[in-house]
Structure 1
Amino acid sequence: MTDSDFSPTRAIVTASDSGIGAATAIALAEAGMDVGVTWHSDEEGAQRTAVAVRARGRNAVVARFDATEFDEVPRVIDGLADSLGGVDVFVNNAGASEPRLLLDTSVQQWRETMALNIDGAFIGMQTAARRMVDAGSGGRLIAVTSVHAHQPRVGLGPYIAAKHALSGLIKTMAIELAEHDITANAVAPGEIATAASGRTSEDADRTHRPGVPLGRPGKAEEIAAVIAFLASPASSYVTGADWAVDGGMLQMGPLAGSHIADDSWRTA
């Protein structure tokens, strides 16, 4: 297969009811793809995303998706793929964290975080990959991780462990699925202004972040643009990569460390 043989027209984006997921669904629609939109608790948000996809001349199919309901994950993904006529691009965006110090984390809380951020991600990507292999037309698997898949942060131990695992899973999928012309890549956002943090993309331009080289939080659309590239034929020779989209945040390690003025970072 050559890179010109891959022409994606069908994508599934989990947790695309708002934020990065919604921006990604819209970006993929603008790139000419029909989109499977999923929601967990915000059906209204998912319907807004679907309207935006359709406004760009593409089909949108909406389904509720809970990554922790392991028996249901394949059914939902397969159902969306059936409605779309297949799946060429699968974006695993579902995930969440709850700040808590490790000494205060119960085994149950640990397992719940792992179930959402890595177990469900594995099942969803495996389901999509199996369909891609059966179709024989190649594909794109993209996982949204975090800068914390590269560097830790106080109070997010289970989440960070899960994102490290997800990054490793993507790298393994990249080498195992390459013979099927399926690429697998991760996108690791830094601080992004989304509804989940009570901010909008417009707020990003008004927020100063001295510790970030570009000086501000990112926008959901900026993450979506990178995902759209990785989903496109133009990314045909990119696989197993883990792209930090963080305004340069990760480059600040020693510099930021030497300039921290107090111990407030030690609390979640």
Structure 2
Amino acid sequence: MNDTYDKVAIVTGADSGIGKATAVALAEQGFEVGVTYHRDKDGAEETARLVRATGRAPAVRQHDLTDPERAAAVVDELADELGGLGVLVNNAGTGSHEPLLEMGYDRWRSVLAVDLDGPFLCAQRAARRMVASGRGGRVVNITSVHEEYPKMGSGPYCAAKGGLRMLSRVLALELAEHGITVNAVAPGEIATPMTGQEDMPPQTGSRPGNPIPRPGDAREVAAVVAFLAGPAASYVTGATVFVDGGMTMMGPQGASALGSSDWRYL
């Protein structure tokens, strides 16, 4: 198992939800952690406090992926401060809720910038450092079940997540010879602020359409990310791991159970 890479991880968008849970999970595995945030500085500082409680010394940076070239420089800043880089988790993202026929190009581009351009540039910066070190590393990209399955009103989000899936696979091919693995984690509905819910244990029975009838907990996603970031996953690359409570298995069966056409309307 390849465990020569730096025990330093950067988690983007770690001020809440999946990013916050991932930062803590990696700290518990012995990683020094770089935390980035867009607007929620208090949330990022809370994540840093939880990381410190594990005995690690976090670093925090503001990171605005609407300007992805400038934001990507934060990867190098954090790596310099923390003394290396072995793991990058591209978690930061945004969404949309607007029909494509009503969407302006600026809105389309802003979502693509955050959800696809930003992860590309951050992964490029991180991988260059990992290659130069000669010690290998891990890149984990947080996509979504919508890397595979479409959703009304989320055209640029779905396009970006599908693109991030394929970007992960190409990077996996190109970086394998350097001891760097690249994988994606595709969450379903997770109880986080991004889905309009609080970071709290989801209530069983609240999502009867899912085989596991509840939203996921951010820590359940973080556990998968932590596995892929660790030495035990050294032979896993170019893969997507769905963490969705079985949601994506319900297409034909779920569709046949719908009693109205309400799904057609935002």
Q: Normalising by structure 1, what TM-score?
A: 0.96
SS in 1 for 2:200: helix
Q: Which residue of 1 aligns with 2:116?
A: 118
Instruction: Give the letter aligned to residue 265 of structure 1.
Output: W
Q: Distance in 2 between matches of 1:106 and 1:93?
A: 25
* Structure 2 residue ranges without an equivalent (≥5): none
Q: Which residue of 2 aligns with 1:18?
A: 16
My pick for the range that moved more, 251-260 or 194-203, is 194-203
Contact residue 149 and residue 167 of structure 1 kept, 8 A? yes
Contact residue 8 and residue 232 of structure 1 kept, 8 A? no
Q: Which residue of 1 aligns with 2:261?
A: 263
SS in 2 for 1:222: helix
| Alignment deviations for residues 88-112 of structure 1 (CA, whole Å, 9 cap, x no partner) | 0000001110211111111111111
**Alpha-carbon shift at residue 8 of structure 1 (Å):** 4.5
Contact residue 207 and residue 217 of structure 1 kept, 8 A? no
Q: Normalising by structure 2, what TM-score?
A: 0.97
Q: Within 5 Å, give how 1:1-268 maps onto structure 2.
A: 3-6=1-4, 8-206=6-204, 208-268=206-266
My pick for the range that moved more, 223-232 or 73-82, is 73-82
Q: Distance in 2 between matches of 1:152 and 1:104?
A: 18
**Alpha-carbon shift at residue 232 of structure 1 (Å):** 0.2
My pick for the range that moved more, 142-151 or 73-82, is 73-82
Q: Distance in 1 between matches of 2:132 and 2:201?
A: 44
My pick for the range that moved more, 154-163 or 193-202, is 193-202
Contact residue 24 and residue 228 of structure 1 kept, 8 A? yes
My pick for the range that moved more, 35-44 or 5-14, is 5-14
Question: In structure 2, do the counterparts of structure 1 residues 7 and 139 end up closer, same or farther at CA, with 3 Å as the change threshold?
Answer: closer
| Alignment deviations for residues 222-242 of structure 1 (CA, whole Å, 9 cap, x no partner) | 000000000000001000001
Instruction: Give the letter aligned to residue 142 of structure 1.
Output: V
**Alpha-carbon shift at residue 7 of structure 1 (Å):** 5.2
Contact residue 171 and residue 241 of structure 1 kept, 8 A? yes
**Alpha-carbon shift at residue 205 of structure 1 (Å):** 2.3
Q: Distance in 2 between matches of 1:169 and 1:54?
A: 33
Q: How well do the aligned residues superpose, as a CA RMSD in angstroms?
A: 1.2
Contact residue 22 and residue 222 of structure 2 kept, 8 A? yes
Identity of aligned residues (%): 52
Q: Distance in 2 between matches of 1:43 and 1:141?
A: 25
Instruction: Give the letter aligned to residue 110 of structure 1.
Output: W
Instruction: Give the letter aligned to residue 114 of structure 2.
Output: L
Q: Distance in 2 between matches of 1:5 and 1:23?
A: 22
**Alpha-carbon shift at residue 69 of structure 1 (Å):** 1.6
| Alignment deviations for residues 149-197 of structure 1 (CA, whole Å, 9 cap, x no partner) | 0100111011100100000000000000000000000000000001233
My pick for the range that moved more, 155-164 or 98-107, is 98-107
Question: In structure 2, do the counterparts of structure 1 residues 222 and 5 end up closer, same or farther at CA, with 3 Å as the change threshold?
Answer: closer
Question: In structure 2, do the counterparts of structure 1 residues 216 and 163 end up closer, same or farther at CA, with 3 Å as the change threshold?
Answer: same
| Alignment deviations for residues 95-135 of structure 1 (CA, whole Å, 9 cap, x no partner) | 11021111111111111111111011100110000000001
My pick for the range that moved more, 145-154 or 4-13, is 4-13
**Alpha-carbon shift at residue 74 of structure 1 (Å):** 3.2
SS in 2 for 1:163: helix
Contact residue 187 and residue 242 of structure 1 kept, 8 A? yes
Q: Distance in 2 between matches of 1:108 and 1:38?
A: 25
SS in 2 for 1:148: helix
Q: How many residues in Structure 1 have an aligned counterpart in Structure 2?
A: 266
**Alpha-carbon shift at residue 208 of structure 1 (Å):** 1.4
SS in 1 for 2:203: helix
Q: Distance in 1 between matches of 2:129 and 2:76?
A: 8
* Structure 1 residue ranges without an equivalent (≥5): none
